[in-house]
Chain A
Amino acid sequence: MKDVVRAALDNSLRTSAILLVFAVVGTAMLAFTHQRTEPNITRSQQAEKLTLLDQVLPRSLYDNDLLASQQLLPPSDLLGTRQPSAMWVARRGAEPVAVALEAIAPDGYSGNIHLLIGITADGHITGVRVTAHRETPGLGDYIDRAKSPWIDQFTGTSLVEPPLRHWRVAKDGGRFDARAGATITPRAVVKAVKDALEYYSRQRTALLAAPAQGVPSP
């Protein structure tokens, strides 16, 4: 009996030592790679974010470091957010010329639709992009720019043009078309964009007054 216990103990020490070596080597390898690649990765990610922002805020509008201007907005019903969301302020010189907001349309056919919306200082949409959604493929996913240009019809609109009562899909008597058989998704998007505009018009001063060098979020 004692022999077996001793043999087991010996063996377990041996195996754990071997495993230890592999763990140390593996971890060291990872640590090394991580260290080497980290700057590159950060750069790529920022470039990626910027590419996305570029789609809603034309680069010709501003000259500041847009990524550095990121701030967090508190949760808001109009933005459809339950958690703080990001906002970027574009400036030309010191003058704020536009903002980019994250918003959520909570009433999509299959849950939340995440949007990125660019709004000029005077309340015109410069662009809208869907960043994440779970709408039925082939039915509701035409809101995705990769699938169809549908989302482009928001560009240039504001709370005044079209008038408020036309901020609906065509089927409900509004200005925005929707594909037959799939009106829930566009309804949700139209409503979310309109709400985001309203949010902007109410909070405009606070948003634009934000310090030029806002506290960058982590």
Chain B
Amino acid sequence: MITRQEILDLFRNGLFKQNTGLVQLLGLCPLLAISSSVINGLSLGLATTLVMAASSGAVSGVRNFVPNEIRIPVFVLIIAALVTVIDLTMNAFVHPLYLVLGIFIPLITTNCIVLARADAFAAKNRPLHSVIDAVAMGLGLTLVLLMLGAIREVAGQGTLLSGIDLVFGAEAQRFVVHVLPNYQGFLLAILPPGAFLALGLLIAANNWNKARAEQRTRAAVPVTA
């Protein structure tokens, strides 16, 4: 079926090496639009993960029946249908959550990560691998959304987890963390430009980290001269 090592590799790939948000820079549109707070980012990240897992599994399942020339329409069809089903289901059965994420769920259809993974991975691999890859990629995205949301929320409003009550009900209000009390608010962080700036800083940090790691490994090799 699938070995432990393979699973580990897939996760390392999805979470770090090929991270959709920081490395592949895919699906930036929802990434930037939704990441104004931790709760928003986390919710959309998880929703995207769900859609990716479902669609990657489905695409992988039918991959042998789809001729190359119509693979994109078929994948889009599958993804769109799945997203709509999830959209309707959420609307019907978890309405409060739907109220928060409602307008973003249909956007997942257009998120290129979903199609990219379907085409680049699921169309060439077995269903189980594909689902795990999709989950790893989705979690990688969620991770970035979470960090971005945290940065923007703290910088913008001085809080964390605001809006948690919309997901878990009014009593969850007490989980909201006021990191900086009496904070003036830095509007830019919440506005779209703030998303670009924060993402830019995250990417820079990631690259810097990578470069440093590389340097370390290089320095570790003794130079004979």
Contacts and interface: CB of A to CB of B under 8 A. Distances in A.
B23 interface: no
Interface in A3-40: 11, 14-15, 18-19, 22-23, 26-27, 29-30, 33-34, 36-38, 40
B99 A48 contact: yes
Interface size class of B (residues with CB under 8 A): 20 to 34
B99 A37 contact: no
B95 A44 contact: yes
Given A15-B69, A137-B187, A138-B187, A37 B92 contact: yes
B88 A26 contact: no
B78 A26 contact: yes
A26 B99 CA distance: 26
Interface in B79-94: 80-81, 84-85, 88-89, 91-93
Contact of A40 (B70, B85, B92): B92
A170 interface: no
Contact of B73 (A14, A19, A48, A138): A19
A22 B92 contact: no
A41 interface: yes
Label chain A's interface by main secondary structure: helix
Contacts of B98: 44
Interface size class of A (residues with CB under 8 A): 20 to 34
A41 B92 contact: yes
A19 B88 CA distance: 24
Nearest to B98: A44
Given A19-B74, A41-B92, 7 more contacts: A14-B67, A22-B78, A37-B93, A41-B88, A48-B99, A138-B187, A138-B190
Interface of A: 11, 14-15, 18-19, 22-23, 26-27, 29-30, 33-34, 36-38, 40-41, 44, 47-48, 137-138
Interface of B: 62, 65-67, 69-70, 73-74, 77-78, 80-81, 84-85, 88-89, 91-93, 95, 98-99, 185, 187, 190-191
